[in-house]
Amino acid sequence: MFDTVIKGGTIYSPEGIFVGDIGITGETIQEINEGGNLEGTTIIDATGKCVFPGFIDPHVHIHLPFMGTNAIDDHASATKAALVGGTTTIIEMICPGPDDEPADAFAEWKTLAEEGACSDYSFHLAVVRFDDIAKKQLRELVSNEGVQSFKIFLAYKGALDIGDENLFELMQLCVELGVVLTAHCENAEAIDLMQKKLLAEGKTGPEWHEPSRPICVEADGVNHLCAFAELTGASIYIVHTSCGIAIDRAIEARSRGVDVTVEAVAPHLVLDKTYAERADFEGAKFVMSPPLRDKVEHDALWNGLASGAVSTIGTDHAPFSFREQKTMGTDAFTLIPNGIPSIQERIDLVHTFGVCTGKIDLQTMVDTCSSNVAKNFSMYPRKGALAVGSDADVVVYDTEFVGIFKHEDGLSNIDYSGFEGLERRGRADTVLLRGKIVAEQGMFVGRAGAGNYISR
């Protein structure tokens, strides 16, 4: 007799896809039986529904500083939103300032997550300082805290960018420590020059954000990162890739033996640059970096996901309120806080605009939104798999649900939805985190602060 049995659903497991039962005791999957016949104290009827491993978001910002303000979510609101959307584990970006010590930044972010996170969580640690103190602390965080991924920015000149000499040495350190280097790939110098040019011409609105950092700038950043990875042997992971030419550059490097993984994020798969061109400053809601692109780039991203060239789908969730925070950039697009929140909507967006349109299948959705993330970031098969011994993170998903995306359904603290009014097909019907039901039919029903830190 198991504590919980999920009965009669179509199970997506590493061994295949079949109808059956999952038996859970405590926090762990104890048995998976094709055909069913398991008995449990609690029964969850999954008949006619899909049963997926808990989804993992590899790219989240919650406690995110920006020019004197912070993103509007806290760890409670963001992770409740994640769970309702079927995401049971997040990897948050720790983004210290150039004067902050890595150890202090890690302690700050982890303390905040311990106090509020309702989902499980881990971290990528941004490296914006690389002196002797930082190098020592980075080694210690890998050894003592299970940090297994760093983050760099080839953007944001004078704030977060890292010089080539430090980049080369950091990549050597990553090889030594067995750490993946995640990277925001653009060209900080080119962006700075373009921003200054446009502002001098009086082009200050959010519609000028994309022209200030066009696709050639992103492709150049990918080339630059891949060249250094080829020289050092580092494993690299390119975040929020927005366009076909950037994917092509990564594939070319991969053909030369570079260990490079490519990530897409939900906004780039669904929205296009016309959203950021909306009148009356409403376009500011849709400012993110890299920017939303021409609609033609959607096909490049979806094709990359279908072929395996693009391995994962995250969100780059970075929630800044429209009325109080985005308006910081009323007079200059360079001052608009970047981000299009999507931590709750990600899976339904992928299902609606990817699976239901035939661009990808359900197995690819599971791979790119869960299993591949766990494999890339040293959590598999504890996370990202429906397998005996894995954490009982399970999503019973109703592919037949039909609705629309509405801000009023969101649990994030954000004051708008970037996907308002768009068609929505599919919903996480029941979500379990380590064997406990935490969300049902769009409602959070879990325990506040119940998330665990995942040391990798």
Q: What is the CATH number of the domain that holds 297?
A: 3.20.20.140
Residues 304 and 435 in one domain: no
Q: Is residue 452 part of a domain?
A: no
Q: How many of the other CB atoms lie within 10 Å of CB of 256?
A: 10
Q: Is residue 354 part of a domain?
A: yes
The CA distance from 375 to 237, in Å, is: 12
Residues 38 and 122 in one domain: no
Task: Print the domain residue range for 14.
Answer: 2-52+385-399+420-444
Q: Which CATH number belongs to the domain containing residue 37 in this structure?
A: 2.30.40.10
pLDDT number for residue 159: 65
Residues 92 and 202 in one domain: yes
Residues 144 and 10 in one domain: no
Q: Is residue 407 part of a domain?
A: no
376, 407, 432: which is the final residue of a domain?
376
**45, exposed or middle or buried, with CB in 10 Å at 0-12, 13-18, 19+?**
middle
Residues 48 and 61 in one domain: no
Q: Among residues 140, 189, 137, which one has the least CA distance to residue 163?
A: 189
Residues 395 and 320 in one domain: no
Is the dihedral angle over the CA atoms 341, 189, 185, 103 positive or is it negative? Answer: negative
Residues 305 and 430 in one domain: no
Asked if 287 and 336 count as a contact pair (C-beta separation under 8 A), the reply is yes
Residues 235 and 191 in one domain: yes
Q: Is residue 67 part of a domain?
A: yes
Q: Is residue 450 part of a domain?
A: no
Residues 133 and 232 in one domain: yes
Residues 359 and 391 in one domain: no
Q: Is residue 312 part of a domain?
A: yes
Residues 393 and 343 in one domain: no
Q: Is residue 98 part of a domain?
A: yes
Q: Per the structure, how many domains does the chain have?
A: 2
Encode the chain (456 residues) as per-residue pLDDT tens digits: 999 999 999 999 999 999 999 999 999 999 999 998 999 999 999 999 999 999 999 999 999 998 788 999 999 999 999 999 999 999 999 999 888 999 999 999 999 999 999 999 999 999 998 999 999 999 999 999 999 999 999 877 656 667 888 999 999 999 999 999 999 999 989 999 999 999 999 999 999 999 999 999 999 999 999 999 999 999 999 999 999 999 999 999 999 999 999 999 999 999 999 999 999 999 999 999 999 999 999 999 999 999 999 999 999 999 999 999 999 999 999 999 999 999 999 999 999 999 999 999 999 999 999 999 999 999 999 999 999 999 999 999 999 999 999 999 999 999 999 999 999 999 999 999 999 999 999 999 999 999 999 999
Query: Helices 132-145 and 164-177 meet at what angle, rounded to 10?
Result: 30
pLDDT number for residue 388: 98
pLDDT number for residue 66: 83
Q: Is residue 306 part of a domain?
A: yes
Residues 93 and 38 in one domain: no
